[in-house]
Amino acid sequence: MELTLSLGPIHEAVTTAVQTLTESDAVSRIWDGDHTLWSSDPAEISDRLGWLHLLDEMNGAVSEMEMFAAGVQADGMSKAVICGMGGSTLFPEVLAKTFATCEGLALTVVDTTDPAAIDRVLSDRQITDTLFIGASKSGSTVETTSQLATFWSRLQRGPQFTVITDPGSALITLADQHGYRRVFQNRSDIGGRFSALSYFGLMPGALVGAPIAKLLGSARELVPALHGPESSNPAVLLGASIAVAAQLGRDKCTILVDPSAQHLGVWLEQLLAESTGKHGEGIIPIVDEPVNAAAYGDDRFFVVIGSPPGLEQIPAAAPMVSIPLTESTDIGAQVLLWEFATAVAGAVLGVNPFDQPNVAAAKAATDHVLKSGIPHIPLVPVPQMLSLLAPGDYINLCAYVDPASGTVDKVTRKLHELGQRFGVATTMGIGPRYLHSTGQLHKGKPYRFVALQIVGEDRTDVAIPDQPFTFGQLKAAQAAGDYAALQAVGARVGRVALTEFLDA
């Protein structure tokens, strides 16, 4: 894989960074699992590098996963629902959308606590023909355990449930108790956002009929290049470029993706944001934003994957990296490239790309709200929030709404319109899903955005078995906890009315 670099104003700085990586023998140290490349403390590094060594292992499990998928279909199941959050669910969603025409199960990702979304699954006439998949590394994520408990209470039929988790997880005990169809145990030395090419990403891919062997094959073909010298290593060049760009004020890494892999952006967003956004540093991924020169300032760095439309809108002097992409199965190589590049970027920025120190803050704030009661958060006029925008800022929309509702499309269109009007970048997060991805960046580098929080009204609610709160109350608590966590780090955040935002 040969990248094309047009770095312009940051060329010299990137060259220096690559030379420094060469002198520090970065490539060999990454493959050897040398934690000192990122930190003197091995915590959440030495046990997070399994993604470097799992391709052959997963290639050997392809038949197993495809036979499992065939058995599910043979039993008359036509749908699959993944219960999970963050890295455990994003890549399956990418595969389901990218390979939607394949002959497999229709896949729904339930990475939400919105009661309307939960109720929609419960009310589905085909629920008895649906396989439910609990996907959680720890097995204790509140969203996942709440979803599984709710769907189990409706069906109580073990063959309709399976889990993907780590050895020793509480989900394994739950699966044994209820007689789940299957337990897929992932290797424990892989973090959630680096788990795309493990069981977490590939087993659901097999269910939807994605060509998982070809995906792995494209990644395996890239491995020799990633062992190559720093000066020509594609992941080193990519990682160093995006990190140096961020250090020089071009921290809005704007990723434009070929139509054949257009759904990859949501996975890239989490990988970059949660891995690099901490301790005041951070690369801000801008994905799925319409190509428009009116919103492009000198805070942008561009990455072009394949041949997306609208490239003429990119300013001629803007630094850019172009990555080849021939077909949709090249997504496998893209995953490995970006994982390695993210590890390199962390070394350049001086952060540990495998931890998430600020994610716990929102969880703790949510727990506090559930115990003490949901506070009243006054609404702030949209113009008042937008007046806070300064050069180099971006608008960060946090929407706690039903992810499958028309509301998402409406607020997304309005957000992009505002970005073009104010000439700034925009990011959109559906709560609480983004708390497990870009939420880390929001708290780890809360200096360059104005956050607008929208909380949709719940016309229905769903009880959670054995819990003193409902899904609606959990969603409200997560929104309030997120708001409090953003305020605690000095972020400019305001809750705004949905109708006013749409009329802004």
Tracing tokens 């424990």 back to the chain, one arrives at 188
Of 295-299, 362-366, 476-480, least confident by mean pLDDT is: 362-366
Residue 135: is its pLDDT beyond 90?
yes
Model pLDDT, residue 88? 87
pLDDT more than 70, % of the chain = 100
Q: Are 136 and 88 in contact (CB under 8 A)?
A: yes
Q: Whole-angstrom Cα distance, residue 135 to residue 91?
A: 12
Q: What is the pLDDT of residues 482-497, one digit of tens each?
A: 999 999 999 999 999 9
Q: What is the pLDDT of residues 150-175, one digit of tens each?
A: 999 999 999 999 999 999 999 999 99
- Of 241, 218, 173, 176, the C-alpha closest to 6 is 241
Residue 333: is its pLDDT beyond 90?
yes
Amino acid letter at 59?
Answer: N
Model pLDDT, residue 504? 86
Q: What is the pLDDT of residues 70-85, one digit of tens each?
A: 999 999 999 999 999 9
Q: Edge to edge, what strands does the sheet with 449-455 contain?
A: 425-430, 394-400, 449-455, 492-495
Per the structure block, which two tokens stand in for 129? 């023909």
Residue 361: is its pLDDT beyond 90?
no
CATH architecture under which domain 4-38+222-349 falls:
3-Layer(aba) Sandwich (3.40)
Q: Whole-angstrom Cα distance, residue 203 to residue 42?
A: 30
Confidence band for 127, pLDDT divided at 50, 70 and 90 = very high
Q: What is the DSSP string of 363-406?
A: HHHHHHHHHH-PPP--B--HHHHHTT--TT-EEEEEEES-TTSH
Mean pLDDT computed over 4-13: 98
Model pLDDT, residue 305? 98
Of 358-372, 460-474, 482-496, least confident by mean pLDDT is: 358-372
- Of 144, 145, 183, the C-alpha closest to 166 is 183
Mean pLDDT computed over 275-281: 96
In angstroms, the Cα distances linking 215 to 53, 330, 332, 434 are 16, 6, 4, 26
Model pLDDT, residue 467? 96
Mean pLDDT computed over 396-413: 96
Model pLDDT, residue 300? 97
Q: Taking the CA atoms of the chain, what radius of gyration do you get in angstroms?
A: 22
CATH 3.40.50.10490 segments of the chain: 4-38+222-349, 53-215, 359-502
Model pLDDT, residue 362? 86
- The torsion angles phi and psi of 269, rounded to 5 degrees, stand at -60, -50
CATH 3.40.50.10490 fits 359-502, yes or no: yes
CATH 3.40.50.10490 fits 53-215, yes or no: yes
Model pLDDT, residue 446? 87
Pairing of the two strands 130-135 and 394-400: unpaired
Q: Whole-angstrom Cα distance, residue 342 to residue 275?
A: 7
pLDDT more than 90, % of the chain = 97
Per the structure block, which two tokens stand in for 241? 């470029």
Confidence band for 475, pLDDT divided at 50, 70 and 90 = very high
Q: What is the pLDDT of residues 54-72, one digit of tens each?
A: 999 999 999 999 999 999 9
Residue 274: is its pLDDT beyond 90?
yes
Model pLDDT, residue 447? 86
Q: Whole-angstrom Cα distance, residue 219 to residue 58?
A: 11
- Of 126, 144, 127, 143, the C-alpha closest to 135 is 144
Confidence band for 245, pLDDT divided at 50, 70 and 90 = very high
Q: Whole-angstrom Cα distance, residue 49 to residue 31?
A: 9
Model pLDDT, residue 237? 98
pTM (2 d.p.): 0.97
